[in-house]
Structures are given as C-alpha cells and as structure tokens.
C-alpha cells in the first residue's frame, strides 16, 4: 500500500476518498473476528459496502459531468448508510463490541460526502 503521486487520478486528491479508504481498512479489521458462519453473510456484506464507498467516489470523480459525479457520490453515501446499519447489526448480534472510533469515522465520511455533494450542487445551479 504505497502512496502514489498522480495527476491522472483526481479522486486521490479528495480527503473524503482517503478517509473512505481508511474506513475500508477499519471495517476489515472490525469484521475479522466475526464467526466463521458469517463469512458469506454479514462479513461479506459489510466488506462489500465498505469497498463501495471509496470506489464510487473514485468513479464519480472520473466522470465528465457534475450530474454523473453527484449520482456516484449518492451511491457512495447509500453504501455508507448500509455499512453503518450492518455494523450496528453486528454489535446487536454480539459479534463485536461497540466501536466508537469506527462510528466517528463513518460520521466523518458521511459529513464530508454530504459537504462535497452540496458544493457540487451549488456549482451546478446557476445563481
């Protein structure tokens, strides 16, 4: 996992994408102690939702139109809400204890996604 300098990848310059990448790592660690019986259940769903967050940010940033960018950011935010729900389910089922740092990271990514979406909406809307 090295850091690359590249002007060809606009998503890498986004703080929200970097935080979302940190979230993926945190979710993989969070779900690593789940029961083996959940490997194809909640573990897989959590990890898939986590990976979807930065992936959709990156795909949106690569699009040519603001409308497309917003659509992918919206998908990313939906995946984040799904992820939040799934991690709460894991806690309720007793697979793990509540994890405040993870909750804070989810909140931070959600806030930054919303702020980016709001900024793009303003740019798109004529004064």
The pairs formed by 52-57 with CB atoms below 8 angstroms and a separation of 24 or more are: 52/76, 52/79, 53/20, 53/23, 53/24, 53/79, 53/80, 53/83, 53/109, 54/11, 54/17, 54/20, 54/21, 54/23, 54/24, 57/11, 57/14, 57/16, 57/17, 57/20, 57/113
The pTM score is 0.89
Domain locations in the chain as residue ranges: 11-124
Question: 11-124 in CATH: which number?
Answer: 1.20.1440.60
**Which pLDDT tens digits describe the chain residue by residue (127 residues)?**
455 454 578 899 999 999 999 999 999 999 999 999 998 999 999 999 999 999 999 999 999 899 999 999 999 999 999 999 999 999 999 999 999 999 999 999 999 999 999 999 988 766 5
């Amino acid at each position: 996992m090295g850091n690359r300098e590249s002007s060809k990848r606009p998503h890498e310059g986004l703080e929200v994408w970097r935080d979302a990448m940190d979230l993926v790592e945190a979710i993989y660690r969070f779900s690593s102690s789940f029961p083996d019986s959940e490997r194809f259940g909640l573990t897989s769903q959590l990890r898939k939702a986590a990976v979807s967050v930065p992936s959709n940010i990156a795909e949106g940033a690569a699009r040519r139109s603001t409308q497309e960018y917003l659509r992918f950011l919206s998908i990313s935010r939906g995946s984040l809400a799904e992820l939040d729900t799934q991690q709460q389910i894991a806690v309720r089922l007793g697979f793990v204890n509540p994890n405040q740092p993870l909750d804070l990271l989810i909140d931070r990514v959600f806030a930054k996604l919303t702020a980016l979406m709001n900024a793009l909406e303003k740019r798109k809307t004529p004064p």
